[in-house]
Every structure is written in C-alpha cells, then in structure tokens.
Structure 1
Amino acid sequence: MSQISSLFVTRLYQAALSEHGKPIDAAELEASCWSIAQDDEAGQEWCDENGFPGYTSYASLTDLPYRFPIFKDLVKVLNKHVKAFAQDLNFNLDGRKLKLEDIWINILPPGGIHTGHIHPHSVISGTTYLAVPKGASAIKFEDPRLAMMMAAPARTKDARAEMRTFHYVTPEPGEVLLWESWLRHEVPLNMAEAERISVSFNYNWG
C-alpha cells in the first residue's frame, strides 16, 4: 500500500503572550512604544534616510530592556515562549540557552510595507503584536524551497495550508509568533486607517 510522508517540516509558533509568565500591561507597552518613537531622533533620521515607512528602533536603540522596565518584563515572558518553541523543534542546545540578541519596535503607518527578508545569524525570530487595526497587514511567510521550484506548477486555490507557496497569518493583539530565522517573511501593504504596532526580536545560541 502506498504511503506519502511530510518531510522537512517548517514550524510556526503562535500563542497568546499571556500563556507563559506574568501578564504584560498592553496599554503601558504600547504607550512606551509611542513615547520612544517620538523621542528617538536617531531612529527617525534612519527611517527617513532609508525610506523606511513609519518608525523602527532597529537601527538606533539596542537596549530597550535596560531603558524601560516594561520591556524587561516582556523579555522574561518571551524567553519562556522561545524555550517552548526550541523544545518543539527538537534543538540540541548542548546545555546552553537561546538568548535575546536584539529587540525593536515597529510602527507601520497606513500604506506602509516591510519587504521580504530573513534574519541572518539568528536562530529564532518573532514578533508580538500590540495594535492590529481592522484591515492591517497579515504577516506573509514564504516557502523556503521557492527558489528551487524551477518548473513546478502553481498550487490549487484549495491547497492544504502546508502545501501552499505562501502562508498568511493575521495576528491578534497580545499574540506572539515565532519562527526559525531563515524563514523569509514580509508585511504587505497596511490597508488599515491606523498604525500597526509590534515588537520584533531575535534569539541566538551561545
């Protein structure tokens, strides 16, 4: 009897941030993001110079958990989610832990996009969401084999989720998504009438 197996599975972790650890005050965290964005002149300049829509602290502030206690609390919770995901991935960490490498704010305005990219030199990347207004962009993940599908036909419209070339996730505020850092992803055009606010992060090993 014939048998078809799934090989080399790509895992995506999705959970409520509150599922592990102390609940985070979402209103305080969002207010902190706005306050940082308004005060971070270096970050504003970087966004203007690089044509980055809205605001990100990625290139300007590398010590958010030390500056704001709410981010320190957030990292404690994220550590537990990342640990759970690493266990699911069957990582052999050889007695070491995955550690936060960087964490940054994203405020994406109406009409803004984040083009496709990966997170080199990291192991697990992710985002937690603070504001996802109606019509805001889903996050789009790309099949990592896409560049090698030179002659493959397109998938049918009703293809199973794991067989599709692209996978879209529309997160809820208070959720966290985790994926392996080599997985290419993007945020399509924000069609909402308000900003989409999130906090992204990378974890490395060693």
Structure 2
Amino acid sequence: MTTAKKGPGLWTAAMVHGGSLADAERINRRILATFTDLTEADFSRRTHFFGGRFENLYLDRDRIPELRIILGQAERWAREILDWDDQPLRYGFWFNAQGPGQSTSEHTHEELDELLSGVYYLSAPEHSGDLILRDGRLSIHVTPEAGLFLFFPPSLSHRVETNRSDALRLSLAFNFGPL
C-alpha cells in the first residue's frame, strides 16, 4: 500500500493495510444467504440516512455465526497493525448494503477515540463502486473484491462511488479503539 512522511510542502498518503480471508468464498456465501433473508426488524439499529437508504446497518454478532470468523480475523489484524498486545480492544461493526445506483457519502470515523478503521467485502460485483480514500491532495482508489480486508486511520476521509452494477455491494465496516 502507500505511505509517506509528512513534512513542509509534501503531500501525504496514510498507511493503508490490506489482506484477504482464507475460505472467503464459502464464508461470504453463507453470510449473504442469511443477510438477504433479514428484515428491518432484525437490525438492532440503522443510522446515516442519505439518498433514501440507511448507510449503516447494525446486527447482533450472534445473528450470523460466520460473522465470528470475520470479526476474529479483523481483531487479530487490528492488534497487529496497532501493536496492541494483551490490552483490551473495543470494536464495533456494521453492514453497508449498497444497491444499484447508490453511493456512500464522504466521511471519517473520528466519532470517539477510534484508533483504526476497516472494511471487509462480502460482495463486490464488477462496477459496484471503488472505495476512494482521500488524504490531503492525494486520493487512493481501491476496487473492492469479495474477501478483501482494508484497514486505515479513522481520520482518513473516504467515500464509495456509485454502484453501477445490477447487484448488491455488501461490506462489513469496523472501528477499533481502547476499552
């Protein structure tokens, strides 16, 4: 990924980490099958209503057993990235379901004392919208792929382009911070 040190007159690019999940196809297929059967009542909370949809959908982690695999891997990598040994680490997660013609507005994740943000792609059809990370005058475009994890600073401004496919783009987002 990309990194640069800040200095007078220099553009910067934040550290972005990526990885992939072993057996992602099977795990994602199971989660997607369950997710498509969910109703509004299944979500404990829905927030960020823009463009006719809630961008953040919160679900109890036990509602879909395979989420434990993804959340476990996300926590292991977050601990490694943050060099966070045995100290307690708080994290939250939510789904972002982006249908055809939908996008996600530019935002950061600086709501609390977050240390790291991340995303995992469950479904990312071709032309479903790149993730655009913006650090000052630099932009990093990431074309999502099912099974891909990305981690980045919560202060890094980001958005998702319009889903120009005819299918659902589904991701799971994370924030990590001290307990």
- TM-score under structure 1 length normalisation: 0.70
Give the aligned partner of residue 5 of structure 2.
7
RMSD: 2.8
The question of whether the paired residues in 2 share the 8 Å contact of 1:127 and 1:198 is answered with yes
Distance 1:188 1:7, change over 3 A: same
User: Identity rate of aligned residues, in percent?
Assistant: 20
Distance 1:78 1:24, change over 3 A: farther
Is 1:108–2:98 an aligned residue pair?
yes
Is 1:98–2:89 an aligned residue pair?
yes
Give the aligned partner of residue 150 of structure 1.
none
1:84 positional shift? 2.3
Secondary structure of 1:65's match?
coil
Distance 1:65 1:24, change over 3 A: farther
**Count of matched residue pairs:** 167
**In the TM superposition, what whole-angstrom CA distance separates every residue of 1:94-121 from its partner, at most 9, and x where no partner exists?**
8524331x21111101110101000122
Distance 1:198 1:53, change over 3 A: farther
Distance 1:13 1:7, change over 3 A: same
Distance 1:46 1:72, change over 3 A: closer
Structure (1/2) with the larger strand percentage = 2
Secondary structure of 1:125's match?
strand
**Range that drifts further, 183-192 or 23-32:** 23-32
CA distance in 2, matches of 1:95, 1:197: 32
4+ residue runs of structure 1 moved beyond 6 angstroms?
none
Q: Which residue identity does 1:125 align to in structure 2?
A: S
> Which consecutive unaligned segments of at least 5 residues does structure 2 have?
7-12
Instruction: Pick from 124, 134, 147 the counterpart of residue 174 of structure 1.
Output: 147
CA distance in 2, matches of 1:35, 1:85: 35
Task: Find the structure with the greater CA-based Rg.
Answer: 1
Instruction: Pick from 20, 23, 28 the counterpart of residue 16 of structure 1.
Output: 20
> Which consecutive unaligned segments of at least 5 residues does structure 1 have?
1-5, 88-92, 147-164
The question of whether the paired residues in 2 share the 8 Å contact of 1:24 and 1:73 is answered with no
1:73 positional shift? 2.6
Distance 1:103 1:177, change over 3 A: same
Is 1:80–2:70 an aligned residue pair?
no
Distance 1:188 1:18, change over 3 A: same
Aligned 1:4-153 pairs, distance under 5 A: 6-8=4-6, 10-18=14-22, 25-36=27-38, 39-41=39-41, 50-54=49-53, 56-58=55-57, 61=58, 64-87=60-83, 93=84, 96-100=87-91, 102-120=92-110, 121=112, 122-143=114-135, 145-146=136-137
CA distance in 2, matches of 1:51, 1:26: 26
Give the aligned partner of residue 185 of structure 1.
158
1:32 positional shift? 2.3
1:56 positional shift? 4.4
CA distance in 2, matches of 1:24, 1:83: 25
Q: Which residue identity does 1:40 align to in structure 2?
A: E
